[in-house]
Structure 1
Amino acid sequence: MPGKGSTPRIWHQSVNELDHLEVYKRALEAHAAEILGDDAEVVVHGLPSGSYAGASATAVLGNAFAYHRILSRVIDNAIMAERQGYDAFVIGSFSEPFLREIRSAVDIPVASLTESGLLVGCSLGSYVALISNAPAVQWMTKVAVDKHKLAARVLEVAAMDPPLDEPQLARAYADPAPVIANFRAAAERLVARGADVIIPAEGVLAELLVRHGVHRIAGAPVMDVFAVTWAYALMQIRLWSKAQLGVGRSWHHRRDDAAIVARFWQGDAQ
């Protein structure tokens, strides 16, 4: 936890190769500074160049083997973040790679886009709807919703039509109108069916919408899910420090031996 008078640091872990999505990385950094100001510092990290062997995350991560092989390093990055003195770790992916494993490994707050967005969304309306960029991400997001046992509060997890991968979305930052129209059509359909809150369920898409002022569609709030997740992480930092909160260690995030993580961690984070 941060020392008295120090600024909390939050490690934001994207699952994209950000050296190929520089416009997205810059947008995230500026957005975090605008939302949190002097309250916390968000440091944005991506995966190493070549992680997806020239393909996009959307094209690869729907395969369970590739998902495990590529994203297991996120666990190591969380351990490294804790060892480097970060005060919280944010999983910047709606598939929430290894959320349970990470919380079992570290003693700093861990926030994810999906969980934070769903929990805050439940305080804004009875039914939340999520819109992803493509069917593969739609499916991974639905699995995450089911994992949190919040399906009863989710009207639908939808995908944009036509689908768009991360490089296509990044290029659209310069000409966002077609993407916004695509997203708006899906959102209007979901609101007409009863959705109270709309969550853009893909990071590059979510940041594009914030960047271009899409905050409400057909009367429903379009959640700034990054702002929500960073603020949620900061809330946890404060509650862990001031109210002595922390994850339960008896069952879901069990750790009987305090040294067990150090014993098995290989220290190969990237």
Structure 2
Amino acid sequence: MSASKTKFRIWAQGATDKAGHRSYLSKLLPHMQASIDPEFEVEFHTTTPSVTTLHALSEFRFSREVIRSAIRAEREHYDVFFMNHFQDVGLYEARASVNIPVLGLGETSLLHACTLGRRLGLLAINHAFITTHADQVLRYGLQQRVAGIRAVNATMADWMEAFESAEKKAELEQVFVREARRLMDMGADVIVPTGGIPMMLFGEPGANVDGAPIVNGVTVVVKAAEMAVKLRRLGASATSRVPHSGFALPDEKTLDEFINHG
């Protein structure tokens, strides 16, 4: 690290906003700060309007935010970028747009979970996301490692209330455990909540369902971001830029057209 640079900077991009998700952010942000090593600093960026509807258009809108934010992060000299949104929308496009490492909560959580057991069970916050997560499993080549995908099927209001009400949290946790056990009956031995919200509610240190660990991907992606920076300093290989990888960097014209018209 140069004398003029006191800390490595991590840009964390959320799909949440300070108003509608304040109860969640009040737990998420201190957790992120407590997770980082002293030589790093993490700055969490919200999205307004946030992603609160269960529709493909909302996800598409956020993907644009992810790409533009990754470009801005590089230009403002951040060392690494990650999105705190399990669906990983815009992940590949952002990775193809900048030279700094780009991570997604979903990909990072799933790949780490593969080191904890043989087969994963994905537990979504709503049934609407099951198809999206199935697509992710295919994209990351994890078909043989995922036993199944189920959902708690609660509303965003339910999830936010659970951060403030012990009774509501217990109600959702009962459903969470029931669905996790159904995934275990299908062969899962690791439970992956598919979002920062259930990760922060049910992924406390040592959390498990009948011995199956519950992955808190928020912790994982923060530490993976640090590792990406440290590996880069050690000269580890960077992102593939060969044309058929899909991660070749854009030329100046392509980048300018996206920034000004995308």
TM-score by length of 2: 0.89
CA distance in 1 between partners of 2:249 and 2:16 (Å)? 34
- Spell out, residue by residue over 1:234-267, the C-alpha distance to the aligned partner (whole angstroms, 9 max, x if none): 1111111212421000022343665355433426
- Please tell me whether residue 164 in structure 1 is matched to residue 154 in structure 2: yes
- Identify the residue that residue 201 of structure 1 maps to in structure 2: 194
- Spell out, residue by residue over 1:40-85, the C-alpha distance to the aligned partner (whole angstroms, 9 max, x if none): 222111211x356xxx23x3x3x3x443234312210111111111
The gaps in structure 2 that reach 5 residues or longer are none
Letter in 2 for 1:143: D
**Contact preservation (8 Å) 1:93, 1:114:** yes
TM-score by length of 1: 0.87
Q: 1:165 to 1:39 in 2, by over 3 A?
A: farther
- Please tell me whether residue 14 in structure 1 is matched to residue 14 in structure 2: yes
CA distance in 1 between partners of 2:81 and 2:27 (Å)? 19
CA distance in 1 between partners of 2:50 and 2:163 (Å)? 23
**Contact preservation (8 Å) 1:127, 1:197:** yes
The gaps in structure 1 that reach 5 residues or longer are none
- Identify the residue that residue 184 of structure 1 maps to in structure 2: 177
- Spell out, residue by residue over 1:101-129, the C-alpha distance to the aligned partner (whole angstroms, 9 max, x if none): 00000111111111111111111111011
- Spell out, residue by residue over 1:137-183, the C-alpha distance to the aligned partner (whole angstroms, 9 max, x if none): 222122111111111111111111xx113232011112211111111
CA distance in 1 between partners of 2:188 and 2:31 (Å)? 26
Name the % identity: 26
**Contact preservation (8 Å) 1:10, 1:43:** yes
**Contact preservation (8 Å) 1:94, 1:144:** no
- Spell out, residue by residue over 1:207-242, the C-alpha distance to the aligned partner (whole angstroms, 9 max, x if none): 11235x671111111011101111111111111121
Query: Aligned to 1:158, what secondary structure does the other structure show?
Result: strand
- Identify the residue that residue 130 of structure 1 maps to in structure 2: 122
- Identify the residue that residue 231 of structure 1 maps to in structure 2: 223
CA distance in 2 between partners of 1:92 and 1:241 (Å)? 24
- Identify the residue that residue 88 of structure 2 maps to in structure 1: 96
**Contact preservation (8 Å) 1:25, 1:44:** no
Query: Aligned to 2:88, what secondary structure does the other structure show?
Result: coil
**Contact preservation (8 Å) 1:191, 1:218:** no
Query: Aligned to 1:16, what secondary structure does the other structure show?
Result: coil
- Identify the residue that residue 40 of structure 2 maps to in structure 1: 40
Letter in 1 for 2:68: D
Residue 91 of structure 1 deviates from its aligned partner by 1.4
Q: 1:108 to 1:127 in 2, by over 3 A?
A: same
- Identify the residue that residue 163 of structure 2 maps to in structure 1: 173
* Residues matched between the structures, number: 257
- Please tell me whether residue 69 in structure 1 is matched to residue 61 in structure 2: yes
**Contact preservation (8 Å) 1:100, 1:252:** no
CA distance in 1 between partners of 2:36 and 2:18 (Å)? 22
- Please tell me whether residue 252 in structure 1 is matched to residue 227 in structure 2: no
CA distance in 1 between partners of 2:8 and 2:249 (Å)? 28
Query: Aligned to 2:19, what secondary structure does the other structure show?
Result: helix
Report the aligned-residue RMSD.
Answer: 2.3
**Contact preservation (8 Å) 2:148, 2:186:** no
Letter in 2 for 1:168: D
Runs of 4+ that moved beyond 6 A: none
Q: 1:243 to 1:70 in 2, by over 3 A?
A: closer
